[in-house]
Chain A
Amino acid sequence: MSVLLDLREVSKRFGGLQAVRNLSFDVRQGEILGLIGPNGAGKSTLFNLINGVFAPDHGRIIFDGIDITGERPYRVARYGLARTHQIVQPLTNLTVLDNCTVGACFGRKNLPLARAHEAAREAIAIAGLENRAAMLALNLTIAEKKRLELARALAAQPKLLLLDEVLSGLNPTEVEHMIGVVRRIRERGVTILIIEHLMQAIMGLSDRIVVLNFGQKLAEGLPAEVARHPQVIEAYLGDPKLAAELQGAG
């Protein structure tokens, strides 16, 4: 499998905090790569580095053969990289359809308005929001807002989708639904890099897992390998419940 996203010795420091340290790994075409780690491990910072919200202090980020290190977010989006936010960022006074049309208009395909509407409707259908299309984003429930994040990113028809905790805050039924949606997106040929705290879910969903701790890579491998990794278990021992879940999932 060819490499779609290649991180080379990426580092980022905020004042006295080394959020990401010398991190290297790659995301291969067509896979779902899970990114786990305790709170504050640098997962969301890494997403912000990849899609250009922050520029890394050191290292390079190569996406689909293009060096995107330090590129502005809107340029990165054009190259075919879309993301969702852990804390939802809906365009509140626009309808669900318009939210997704923004994604489609300014995403990889740079579609004109009419065709962007079609792409948006398609993404809305995949995310299961058809009967909310005409509703203002501010009137959605939190679960629907999470799905809107996903639909909007998907409408951009990205090559790589960064999902930041799309399952958090959802009830078990909603989690099931969302996992189904993520699988369907992958079946359409979209590569996915996903951050998640729900161990059961991410272990089942991911082809491979990268574990971060204190901004460094702790382990990388198949879900079962990672779950048995002694250092990973140690990192999670601070949180016995998560450690047990990790063992159970492996």
Chain B
Amino acid sequence: MPLVRLMRRPFFWILALAIAVFALAPVFGNNVALREALILDAVYITLASNLNLMLGYAGYINFGSIVFFGLGGYTCVWLVNSYHWPLGASLLVAGVCVSVLALIFGLGILRLRGAFFALATVGIVEAVQAFAENFTPWGGSSGIYLSGDIFTPLGGPARALWVIYFMMVAVMGLSLYLSYAIKSSKFGLGLLAIGQNEDAAAILGVPTPLYKALVYSASAFLPAIAGGLYFFKSAFIQPSDAFDLTLSTEALVVAMLGGQGTVAGVAIGAFLYEELRGYLLTSSMFANFQLFVSGALLLLIVLFFPGGLMGFIYRHFPRTQKVLE
């Protein structure tokens, strides 16, 4: 759907306002602690929104979404470190490379359905992690450390962290608009049809193999850039951080918590989950307790709230369906 038509809908502006508030909130009073919390929220929202393209729209459970994040991180950090590329170009190349790779993977594993597809995505995480651990240009299992002067082109460390924050919020915003634009398009309708009944969709004329491969590839682009930013900011990347299956699983929980297939729900779910996780991580009583909570949460959602937060809101306030996507 053309941008102009999207802009006529209230949801476009609700989304724009939310992103603007998100971007500017830590600027007032130079609130660095808030900025660091929000940048993690932005990472989660980016991962969950893009995962939602597969899970909520096409109905494919992808346990391997973290691969996009990690590979994007590696590509970007590697280009910056070994070839002294500027950050922007490294991020873009990381996004494109990972998307192309996803397209190739996708054409292979998207012949599988249901549990078999889900298992194959776990296999991809393991395979890519093993690759990274043994690939010498990427430093093998000890990873890549960036030197201290990488932040100089961005105006020194203090300013660089702000620049990275705004870039991450932009990636998050683009993720949300990508979700929204796809949902409002013919492509999105085809994906939703696949998610409901793939055989019936094909008989109605939806080119299912192409659409699945395209959405898998599209769902890789922005997470790869987010990974590039994230690991550039850390100035360090290693396989166990980059390909942490936990984060993949958490992204699934978040998408289901918010309401798979919705744009706003997934973002709200990611935000709430990350806030909860932050609390559980820092509380002295519950070290690493967030994994238990996310498991329990997933169980409860699947059993009692299959529509997630948005499903609940839609049911009790049916009018919101017309405004909130």
Contacts and interface: CB of A to CB of B under 8 A. Distances in A.
Interface of A: 51, 53, 72-74, 77-78, 82-83, 85, 89-94, 98, 101-103, 105-107, 112-113, 116, 152, 156
B201 A102 contact: yes
Interface in B268-286: none
B10 interface: no
B192 A74 contact: no
Contact of B192 (A72, A90, A94, A152): A94
A78 B204 CA distance: 9
B205 A91 contact: no
Contacts, number: 73
B196 interface: yes
Nearest to A100: B204
Given A98-B189, A102-B189, A85 B200 contact: yes
B212 to A, nearest CB: 12
List of 9 A-B pairs having minimum Cβ-Cβ separation, nearest first: A106-B205, A77-B205, A91-B196, A89-B200, A73-B202, A102-B193, A73-B203, A113-B186, A74-B207
27 contacts: A51-B203, A53-B199, A72-B202, A73-B199, A73-B203, A73-B205, A74-B206, A77-B202, A77-B204, A77-B205, A89-B200, A90-B197, A91-B192, A93-B196, A94-B192, A94-B193, A103-B205, A105-B190, A106-B190, A106-B204, A106-B207, A107-B204, A107-B205, A113-B1, A113-B185, A113-B186, A152-B204
Contacts of B205: 73-74, 77-78, 103, 105-107, 156
B189 A113 contact: yes
Nearest to B206: A106
Given A94-B193, A113-B189, 7 more contacts: A74-B202, A74-B205, A74-B207, A78-B205, A102-B189, A103-B204, A152-B204
Interface string B171-189: 0000000000000011001
A81 to B, nearest CB: 10
A106 B205 CA distance: 5
B121 interface: no
Given A98-B192, A102-B206, A105-B190, A91 B201 contact: yes
B208 interface: yes
A73 to B, nearest CB: 4
A53 B185 contact: no
A107 B192 CA distance: 16
Contacts of A73: 199, 202-203, 205
Contacts of A98: 189, 192
Contacts of A116: 186
A228 B199 CA distance: 39
Contacts of A92: 196-197
Contacts of A103: 204-205
Nearest to A138: B196
Contacts of A82: 204
Contacts of A106: 190, 204-207
Contacts of A89: 197, 199-200, 203
A113 B193 CA distance: 14
A92 B193 CA distance: 9
Interface string B1-43: 1000000000000000000000000000000000000000000
Contacts of B189: 98, 101-102, 105, 113
B68 to A, nearest CB: 27
Nearest to B188: A113
A146 to B, nearest CB: 14
Contacts of B208: 74
A92 B195 CA distance: 10
A90 B196 CA distance: 8
Contacts of B192: 91, 94, 98
A92 B200 CA distance: 11
A102 B204 contact: yes
Q: By CB atoms of chain B within 10 A, which of A73, A82, A92, A93 has the most?
A: A73
A72 B211 CA distance: 14
Nearest to A93: B196
Nearest to A78: B205
A78 B190 CA distance: 14
Given A74-B208, A77-B205, A107-B205, A102 B197 contact: no
